Amino acid sequence: MEHILVADDDTEFTALLTEYLGQQGFASTAVANGQEALNSLAAQPQQFDALVLDIMMPVKNGLNTLSELRSAKHGAANTPVIMLTARGDDIDRIVGLELGADDYLAKPANPRELVARLRAILRRGTAPVEATAQTTLQQGDVQIDIGRRQAFLDNEPLALTDSEFLLLSALLENAGSIVTKEQLAQAMFDRELGPYDRSIDMHLSNLRRKLASGNNNAPDANTDGDRERIKTVRNRGYQYLV
């Protein structure tokens, strides 16, 4: 049974959500602020399968909580996160994605939609590799092990969120070809993007930054990684260059 940690100071909403999660076959734990969420994740890094994180909370807000979680040195650092944002507040959504949120949903959130997004995130983390699919992919100094969900840059581990890993996997599987946003949305979220959904753009920006910062640590500044790796093809999608 998957265990969901819910961090939100709205007790009426958390009571409704945790009850619905139970009806849908999930275990859940609710905390009232970001610091309590961080404490719970640090104390038992393997206990929680996903975190539902509200932005507006006392003591420690959701954005600060997410930033600390992604920089943590324990096993919960890459726990999938769905951010709950104020309706119409694009800035919070963008910042949340920049900090490593996997997905977001505007409040007041529909529990049914939230559970659907949780299931999509959890499903992608446990989906078996097809027998005909390659279990490793490599382009230049970037390599991924699909079965183990690991990525490497110049033979060094690359810390990616689940969304970033799936984005990189989809691009490497189609290296040299253009991959549309719609295809990436299905691969990453198992759903269509809304007309103003910038999730793909922000995850791609994070991925590009991690690939570039990893390369900047290399002693040779003229390595393969200094060239553009992922090209934006206007009005069409993205292409991993070979």
Q: What is the CATH number of the domain that holds 78?
A: 3.40.50.2300
Q: Which residues lie closer than 8 Å to 213 by C-beta, 6 or more apart?
A: none
* pLDDT tens-digit map of 189-224: 777 777 777 888 888 998 998 898 754 433 333 344
Same domain, 170 and 203: yes
The CATH number covering residue 159 comes to 1.10.10.10
Same domain, 102 and 142: no
Identify the domain containing residue 145 by its residue range: 136-240
Residue 131 covered by a domain:
no
Same domain, 148 and 66: no
- How far CA 43 is from CA of 66, 167, 206, in Å, comes to 16, 30, 28
pLDDT of residue 144: 92
Same domain, 12 and 96: yes
| Rounded distance between C-alpha atoms, residue 31 and residue 10, angstroms | 10
Same domain, 10 and 85: yes
Residue 150 in this model has a pLDDT that exceeds 70: yes
Counting every residue written for the chain, the total comes to 242
Residue 130 in this model has a pLDDT that exceeds 60: no
Same domain, 54 and 144: no
Residue 157 in this model has a pLDDT that exceeds 80: yes
pTM of the model: 0.71
pLDDT of residue 127: 47
| Listed residues 126, 148, 180: the one ending a domain | 126
* 233 Cα distance to chain centroid: 23
Number of domains in the chain: 2
CA 65, 69, 70, 73 dihedral sign is positive
Same domain, 19 and 122: yes
* pLDDT tens-digit map of 32-43: 999 999 999 999
